[in-house]
Structure 1
């Protein structure tokens, strides 16, 4: 765990503080049990004692009562301190994860062909210019109504989102996922149990008056769906595909991706979520990645798969694969999907367990983005644009757009 903290760039001393608190928790528990046992034994002696002995025993019982109360308080304090420190620890980093920060990822695969717009005789437009010409995106009125990083999807933009969501849910359903529409507001335990109130807390919207959190992903309500439950091992894996609005403060990104809809405060997303036996977690992680690759290949997007470095994992993931699509006007690959193996991290915190025969133990949870709508629209518009400003519709989406093959610019 010390090595894992070091790889994450987190405080290694936290591990030693936790071990010390846990030792206090154990010793205070033993002390409390000893005093309670003595108190019970004394309670049995008092009725049998002579009047002279009883006065002395009652005096001793009174002192024991105070000692037991103090020991219980010490035990509770030690328990709370141990839990507080344990909640600050990230998941144990998988040994194969590349060590380093955001730029230290390893490229595992590259798919598709990057278009040479110069050879085609025109300069590519960015997604916002294309989207405004198509009557699909309106960021000016989004900013007027809600502020920066908000937007409207209008006309074919709205239809394109609905097509993407329906196509993504259709793929997930065919793969055996149960479709889910999830709450956007959750209680603190759900947010904390999934690992989003540690280092990620600055990006979470909190409604203080009601003590609710707006979710940044349907991973949160999907992980908490079986909170405090025991699932049968022979019924695993259990897979859900959640569709929900997502809310992120995007703290720390001032001046970054301010144009258009690539980085916004509110967006819709289809998320895959799996409950599996611990020994099947790594294979399930690969399956989630394969479904994401299938999705991006169907959208005819050039993309690469990266093994995310340890310092960029997020608290709950032991390993994470990102699929990054090529964005022509940025001249680089940008993240569209992520697949994370959380092992037993979330299950332990949310008390989601599995029963295998007589044995009850935490199971493993995994999550994978299938379609984060705005970024996917960005990639589609830019990669499938044509010289006249129209955009070719990938074949997989055409049935969900009434057979439309091309999105045409509209008159001003």
Structure 2
């Protein structure tokens, strides 16, 4: 939720932020109107309650017809107070709904525009020239079959489209990636977490995932629970309704969890392989810090993501995501996109977002500082999303015979294995 003082005192700033995202500014006027209606409803209720209290003091002192008139007024006033209270509750709900519909204000440095208006900040490494090496690269589906690492057919048979089994060295590769990611996070001072994948509605709403992303969320029918699409959700709610010691910030967590996404709107996109799936495992970095340090912490999260991709010896680029492609909660987001040889393009592997105070205001999380309590900020960053990382490793480090060279940093977590060898032609 945005700072309502900004909405009231600087509505044009909010309108400009909406325009930067390519969104209508009608929500700003709706929220301001709802705020005025809420204030009127509060004033009306307090006026009726004030009269009710005054009558309560007058009645014991009155006699005869005066007392009877006061008693009659009391009965009528009770109904008016009840109606005013109901109107106040309705106005408060309308105000809250209007404010919750407004996305976080895009960062001044975030590019304006939509999905294709990102800015490339950096390109790291050079994609392999397979033609110069004398062979045509295989895609990860064929490599996964040859290595006995990915079974798409049985995944579809058991669970449907966009599901898979990781088998043999495929499963071994995922576990190695989890261990490498957790090792790096631990060495950087993160607290390791195994997070739940089922959360209550407040956690989803508090992180902004029941807004524009609601269609991509799985809800458990008959239960007041949702399957998370990222451990950002349980980690944001981890300290909900708490006041944190300001001297303890930043609090950094590295959380592992399965993630579930409907992939709504992706019909016909990436239908082959494990680029876009309904379930995958992920290690997510999540940070609570002061708002003043949030931009610097955002850069630190990006640096940790780059460090991990460097360990995997991948060619990648870093982009500054355009405002129109930001999630509801983010003020700015950086994506690291790895080169996928058989697609001839860069694909998102990790991302990191600065959500400033948007989530903590919704989840009632504050910090206690010498000058008093104050809002704090949250940030998140993917350290390793398993399926896409496996795709990038297999395709980047493949050899002409279908074997795959294991990146040096992964070998200790693969039992010393340096090459994945084909089981099938």
User: For structure 2, which runs of at least 5 residues remain unmatched after alignment?
Assistant: 1-13
Q: Does 1:288 align with 2:301?
A: yes
Distance 1:153 1:51 in 2: 88
Distance (Å, rounded) in 2 between the aligned partners of 1:179 and 1:42: 61
**Residue 29 (structure 2) pairs with residue 4 (structure 1):** no
The answer to whether structure 1 residue 142 and structure 2 residue 148 are counterparts is: no
What displacement does 1:32 show? 1.2
Mean Cα displacement is larger for which, 161-170 or 202-211?
A: 202-211
Instruction: Provide the residue aligned with 2:69 in structure 1.
Output: 56
**Aligned residue for 2:27?**
14
Instruction: Tell me how far 1:411 sits from its aligned partner.
Output: 4.0
**Other structure's SS at 1:385 match:** coil
Matched, 1:260 2:273: yes
> Displacement of 1:17 after TM fit?
0.6
Residue 51 of structure 1: how far off its partner (Å): 3.2
1:34-66 CA distances to partner (integer Å, 9 max, x unpaired)? Answer: 221221121111112223321111112222212
* Match 1:311 to one of 324, 328, 348: 324
**Contact 2:217/2:228, CA 8 A, preserved across alignment:** yes
Indicate which of 270, 273, 283 corresponds to 1:270: 283
Shift of 1:28: 1.1
Partner of 1:211: 224
Equivalent residue runs for 1:21-40 within 5 Å:
21-40=34-53
After superposition, where does 1:10-159 map in structure 2 within 5 Å?
10-159=23-172
Deviation at 1:112, TM superposition (A): 1.0
Query: Shift of the alpha carbon at 1:393?
Result: 0.6
Match in the other structure for 2:4: none
C-alpha distance in 1 between matches for 2:221 and 2:360: 26
- Residue of structure 1 equivalent to 2:194: 181
What does residue 7 of structure 2 align with? none
1:257 CA drift (Å): 0.7
Instruction: Give the SS at the match of 2:111.
Output: coil
Q: Secondary structure at the match of 1:243?
A: strand
Please report how far the alpha carbon of residue 31 of structure 1 lies from its aligned counterpart in structure 2 after TM superposition. 1.7
Which deviates further from its counterpart, 381-390 or 352-361? 352-361
Q: Distance in 2 between matches of 1:138 and 1:352?
A: 44
Aligned partners of 2:311, 2:159: CA distance in 1, in Å?
Answer: 34
Task: State the alpha-carbon separation in 2 of the partners of residues 260 and 205 from structure 1.
Answer: 22
Give the structure 2 partner of residue 408 of structure 1.
421
Moved more, 115-124 or 53-62: 53-62
1:247 aligned residue: 260
Cα drift, residue 11 of structure 1: 2.7
TM-superposed deviation, 1:358: 5.1
Kept in 1: contact 2:145–2:424 (CA 8 A): no
Following superposition of structure 1 onto structure 2, how do residues 354-373 of structure 1 map, counting pairs within 5 Å? 354-357=367-370, 359-373=372-386
Partners of 1:14 and 1:152 in 2: how far apart? 44
Residue 399 of structure 1: SS of its match in structure 2?
A: helix
Q: Which residue of 1 aligns with 2:363?
A: 350
TM-superposed CA distance for 1:208, in Å, is: 2.3
Deviation at 1:6, TM superposition (A): 1.8
Partner residue of 1:331? Answer: 344
Q: CA RMSD in A?
A: 1.0
Whole-Å separation in 2 of the counterparts to 1:66 and 1:147: 57
